[in-house]
Amino acid sequence: QGATVAIRGIGSREVGEGFEAAVPIVVDGVQIGGHSGAMHVLFDFDQVEVVRGPQGMLLGPSSLGGAIVVRRTPPKGELDVHLRASAGTFDRRVFDAVVHAPRFRGVSTKLAASWMRGGGDEVRNVFANRPENDLNRLFVSASLHFRPIDSVEVLYTFDVDSDKSDTPGLLNISAAGTIGNEGDVLCVRLGRCAAGETSLLTPESGTYTRTLQNFDNSSEFEAETQTLRATYTGPRYEVTSLTGVRSTSALVHQDLDGTAVDFYSLTRDNEYDQFSQEVRVTTEAFNGTQVVAGFYYLDTESSTHLVEHFITDQLAQAGLFTLPTPGTAGDLTTRSNFDSKKLAVFAHLERRFGERWTVDGGVRWHDVDIKSRLVTGRLDSVTVSGAPRFTVPARLDGRMDFDNALGTIGIRYRVDDSAILFLRGAQGHRNGGFDASARTTAAYVPFSNEATNSYEVGLKSDWWEDKLRVNVVAYRTWLKDQSGHMREAVADEIHLLRRNFIEIESRGVEVEATYAPNERLRVDLMLAHGKAHHTQNIAPDLENPGTFLD
């Protein structure tokens, strides 16, 4: 239901809404919060840029390890139509269209649409007789470009993203007829092993095309995104305003046990709203010097309603859980709300010295305010002795308020018209916060920001009248305070807590070469070698509570 992106080994594992990505995806200058939805289907784009290393100085959103920047085609002002239709097995159908209309009274328009349907029958649910992974996606985008005078340019884009694809099916984990004909642990413990002819309906290990889950596999994702870019170009400066508004809603049903028995399933309902505003001024301050300065504001709100079904009743039936009254456990319900506000002020200067040397540097200051609220459902259950098994507060509140500063510096040397040497150092960061998967007070504690310091040296060159281009770069990155989940003893219980306990030093070399001797032939070579060393990876010593092992 989303994307996880890493560049040079640095990424983020979260796929839900309301978190800050280590590698943001930026479409037409606006960050796509949460990496959810089908908007990243690349059928209408002018350029896709993979920015490696922390590059958040002028990007808008923060960047811990890089960014993916997508720029779509602007309205051309003349009639231009691109259509693409595809069909595949299991009733897969795909249709893409991009239509540019002629300019009318100074306004250029563009309409783009992408539709995908079917194709899921390669994974068949033998219990419900349904395809498990069918796709049903529709993305529509409309753009207006207006230039009232030569110095003013306005571009407005409205996107609608609808995805009603099936929740991806899971393979059954409760196969009968294993060694000794006794079935696996889950099957035996719950007394749910299939017998006789019904065992033919139970997918076993190694069967990748059948599943037996019976819970609802429907999902709905709806998103609207509006982007407004306004640019004023003066004699020696340019002012750009970029406004982005994005709202999404998602409802997912998922069967996590993959069996014909209701053992563990969940329903997740999510709402997400995002507003961003960026204003930047680019000017030639004096001969050979360019200055970029501005501010970036990002306001996000997300809410999640998670319902976990069936599991307590099944544990009770298996003798692993005792209920005050059989069948009264009900569902475990969790509600979480996150509200994040970020203000960034940045300035970047680039200065040329003669024909060969260029030096640039920049600073960026952040102020971040994060609020969160977690309301956890209470399990109506007791231990065998009659004591309450879970005592969870009805509401947990948290808040973080912090500021930090980042810097970057670079030097470029032009050897000649065909070769450039460069050296760059940059810092990046990713916001901390509160763990949305927390279930107890002990787990609902803030974790700190993650930070990177990265350095790289490289060569960009072209040979034989630009028929061969060769780029070489060597980098070294220090990642500090990476967060993750660890099991930690709290009182007499073991809790899964999110902490900052990992530090990594990584380095690598990347070589890219393109050979194009004529218009008909092009050969690309890309070679990368990377190595990472965990300089710190702390784990609690469960036998000695309060102490840690590295």
- Those residues with Cβ within 8 angstroms of residue 287's Cβ, 6 or more apart along the chain or in another chain: none
- In this predicted structure, what is the pLDDT of residue 178? 47
Q: Nearest-CA neighbor of 344 among 36, 28, 56?
A: 56
Strands (E), 491-547: 493-518, 521-537, 539-540
Q: Which residues pair with 228 in a beta bridge?
A: 156, 243
Q: What is the structure's pLDDT at 123?
A: 77
| Host H or E run for residue 312 | helix 311-317
Nearest to 421 by CA among 454, 466, 460: 460
Instruction: Please report the pLDDT score of residue 495 as a whole number.
Output: 76
Structure tokens at 366: 């952040």
Report pLDDT for 120: 81
Could you tell me which residues come within 8 angstroms of residue 122 by beta carbon, excluding any fewer than 6 positions away?
A: 89, 90, 133, 209
Q: Which two tokens stand for residue 498?
A: 């999110």
Would you state the structure tokens that stand for residue 20, as one six-digit string?
Answer: 């800050």
How long a stretch of residues is the chain?
550
- How far apart CA 414 and CA 393 sit, in angstroms, is 63
**3-state SS, residue 224:** strand
Among the listed residues 165, 190, 201, 193, the one whose alpha carbon sits nearest the alpha carbon of residue 177: 193
- Tens-digit pLDDT profile for the chain (550 aa)? 567 788 998 887 765 566 788 888 889 988 887 666 655 567 888 898 988 887 667 777 778 888 888 899 999 999 999 999 999 988 899 999 999 999 998 899 999 999 999 988 777 776 677 888 888 999 999 999 999 999 999 999 999 999 999 887 776 544 444 444 455 555 555 555 554 444 444 444 445 566 767 788 889 999 999 999 999 999 889 999 999 999 999 999 988 776 666 777 889 998 999 999 999 999 987 777 999 999 999 999 999 888 888 766 666 666 666 665 555 556 778 888 999 999 999 999 999 998 899 999 999 999 999 998 888 766 655 555 555 555 555 678 888 898 989 999 999 999 998 999 999 999 998 888 888 777 667 777 888 899 999 999 999 999 998 899 999 999 999 999 998 888 877 777 777 788 898 999 999 999 999 999 999 999 999 999 999 999 999 888 877 877 888 8
pTM for this structure? 0.87
pLDDT at 398: 86
Which residue bears the tokens 């019904």?
198
pLDDT, one tens digit per residue, over 215-253 is 888 899 999 999 999 999 998 899 999 999 999 999 999
Going by C-alpha positions, the residue among 401, 394, 492, 493 that lies closest to residue 446 is: 401
